[in-house]
Structure 1
Amino acid sequence: MNLQGMRALVLTAELGSVSAAARRMGKRQSQVSQWLSNLELDLGLTLFERTQNQIVLNAAGEALLPSAIMALSQWDSFQGAAEVLALQGKNTLVLGVENYIPISSLNQAVVLFCQAFPKVNVEIISDSRDALLESFKTKEIDLVLVNEDLSLAQLQWGYCRVGRYQDVFVVSPDHPLAGQVCDGRELAQYRELIWGRGEMKADILDVGFSSHYCISPDLPQLLTLLGQLPAYSVLPKVLVQYKLDSGELVILNLANELAPMARFTQLFWHHGFELSPLGKPLLAELKVALNQMI
């Protein structure tokens, strides 16, 4: 069965005439009429009521029209995916982001990429550094964003040190140390609330001054606990800025932390990705977006 005949059916029904359908398809009216006749022959059904000046769907045509529309939609989707694979090599791009990095910092880059490549699927995965790098090495992930670790710079990968975000010690405004300049010994008396994000073992997490901690993978729960306990937490400032603005949390001032605590990030990709039709624009947008992190 000719797909052109099915498309002619849908367009003739939509536009109300064979001549209009022919103009939309960029074909001669006689060609479109022939496709419609061939479609009826293939189906063994008459789909239109024809008069000298008009052609309209009959009951059989009306009944089959929704299926024809769905079939064409599926074909167009299939054809679009094939075009993406032919021109760009893949139709899904996977970006891995290490736990704790503010993933919202990627929003602008993802929006621009999706607008530029509407037929390419985007998967953003958040996981531990080790899990992401393992998937990256086996090429399950196209590029990965992790917290800086100089030992990770390897020549077999594309690499860029890009962006940073600020960590802050935060407490409830009712915390005994709020508003003071304190040191680590004073802070050690209080429980640390740790945002686990999938790395739930204390021996692989950065536990700070206190030997007493509570680990939670859920940031909203952790922020609620901060408001109810004499505890502290170290979190990306961008994720708690709204709590700071509302006065629900305050930044704790430490005597040994006189400068902002900046965490730098690294971006890794497979060689050749930076030259591909997908990789080149995405890397450019990510670099711009990540350099705007605070």
Structure 2
Amino acid sequence: MNIQRVKAFVLTTQLGSVSAAARALGKRQPQVSQWIADLEVDIGVDLFERSANQVALTAGGEHLLPKAILALAQWEQFTQSATHYAELGKGRLVLGVENYIPLEVLRSTIQRYLMQFPTLDFVLKVDTFDALHSAFLSNDIDLLLLHETVELHQSQSGYCRLGEYQEVMLISGQHALASQQVIDPAQLAPYREYIWAGGQTESDDLEVGFSGHYCQIPDLALLKSLLAEGDGYSFLPLSLAQTEIDSGRLKVVQLSSEFAPMKRRLEMRWHHGFEASTLGSSLLTLIKEQLSK
């Protein structure tokens, strides 16, 4: 079955005549009429009731028209995807982001990127450093966004250090320590630390801070609610708690051991050659622009 025949059927129905469909296709009317006749032979169904001046759909034509329109749309999507794949070299891209990095910083970047490549399948994978790094080495991830490492040079991959986000210590606005502007770490010992697990399942992998007991929670909204209603403390990216801070439900407090703002720097890693590809170059540029602000 030829897709051109299906297109002739759909256009004839939408435009009201074979001659109009022929003009739209840039073909002669007899050719379009023959395509429709060939399609009817292919499927064994008469699609039109023909008269001297016009064509009208048969019951079979009315039944099959929506399917033909869908098939035509899927074919056009297929050809567009195939063209883009041939131009771009791949149809799927995976971005790995380390746990705890606030994804909000990537919202506009991802939105702009998907608008540039409307047929691209895009996967955002959030996990631990070890899991992401293993997937990266297996070529299951194209680009990594991580917390900055201590390595000065990485010869096995392309990399770029960029941007930062601020981490803050938070307590409830009603906490017993809320009246203090500066808190000594020893004062936190009686209180529970709320740890945003960020997808981690093994508590042994988490660094517990100044308290002997903690509550490990993967859901950020639940953690903030418990924190606002309890007497514990937590370290979170500032941007993820700004609403609760502005409302007074949570309060930022300063540790006597951390007089400078707690800045967490970020870095990207990618496979050599990724930066030279159309998909890679565009995504790297967008992330650099966003995180360098």
Query: Is TM (by shorter chain) over 0.5?
Result: yes
Cα distance in structure 2, aligned partners of 1:78 and 1:153: 43
Counterpart in the other structure of 2:199: 198
Identity among equivalent positions (%) equals 50
Deviations 1:41-70 (A, max 9, x none): 323332112222212212221122122223
- Structural mapping, 1:173-252, within 5 Å: 173-180=173-180, 181-252=182-253
Q: Which amino acid aligns with 2:117?
A: F
Cα distance in structure 2, aligned partners of 1:46 and 1:215: 67
Give 1:228 shift: 2.3
Give 1:150 shift: 2.0
Cα distance in structure 1, aligned partners of 2:41 and 2:217: 66
Counterpart in the other structure of 2:136: 136
Cα distance in structure 2, aligned partners of 1:136 and 1:152: 19
Which is further off, 36-45 or 173-182?
A: 36-45
Deviations 1:231-269 (A, max 9, x none): 100000000000001111010122222221000011111
Q: Secondary structure at the match of 2:278?
A: coil
TM-score (norm 1): 0.94
Residue 147 in structure 1 maps to residue 147 in structure 2:
yes
Q: Secondary structure at the match of 2:49?
A: strand
Contact map agreement 1:176 1:230 (CA 8 A) in 2: yes
Q: Secondary structure at the match of 2:241?
A: helix
Counterpart in the other structure of 1:34: 34
Q: Secondary structure at the match of 2:95?
A: strand
Counterpart in the other structure of 2:51: 51
Give 1:152 shift: 8.2
- Structural mapping, 1:60-75, within 5 Å: 60-75=60-75
Deviations 1:99-123 (A, max 9, x none): 1000111111111111111101111
Contact map agreement 1:179 1:252 (CA 8 A) in 2: no
Cα distance in structure 2, aligned partners of 1:70 and 1:246: 50
Which is further off, 230-239 or 178-187?
A: 178-187
Contact map agreement 1:200 1:215 (CA 8 A) in 2: no
Cα distance in structure 1, aligned partners of 2:153 and 2:124: 22
Cα distance in structure 2, aligned partners of 1:175 and 1:162: 36
Could you say if the C-alpha distance between residues 152 and 47 of structure 1 is closer, same or farther in structure 2, counting changes exceeding 3 Å? farther
Give 1:22 shift: 2.4
Cα distance in structure 1, aligned partners of 2:275 and 2:146: 18
- Cα RMSD of the aligned pairs, angstroms, is 1.6
Q: How many residues align?
A: 292
Cα distance in structure 2, aligned partners of 1:23 and 1:258: 75
Cα distance in structure 1, aligned partners of 2:27 and 2:167: 63
Unaligned runs of 5+ in 2: none
Contact map agreement 1:96 1:124 (CA 8 A) in 2: yes
Which is further off, 133-142 or 197-206?
A: 197-206
The 4+ residue runs of structure 1 with deviation greater than 6 A are none
Deviations 1:171-221 (A, max 9, x none): 011111113111111122321110011223343223221222111111111
Contact map agreement 1:179 1:253 (CA 8 A) in 2: no
Contact map agreement 1:160 1:268 (CA 8 A) in 2: yes
Which is further off, 107-116 or 56-65?
A: 56-65
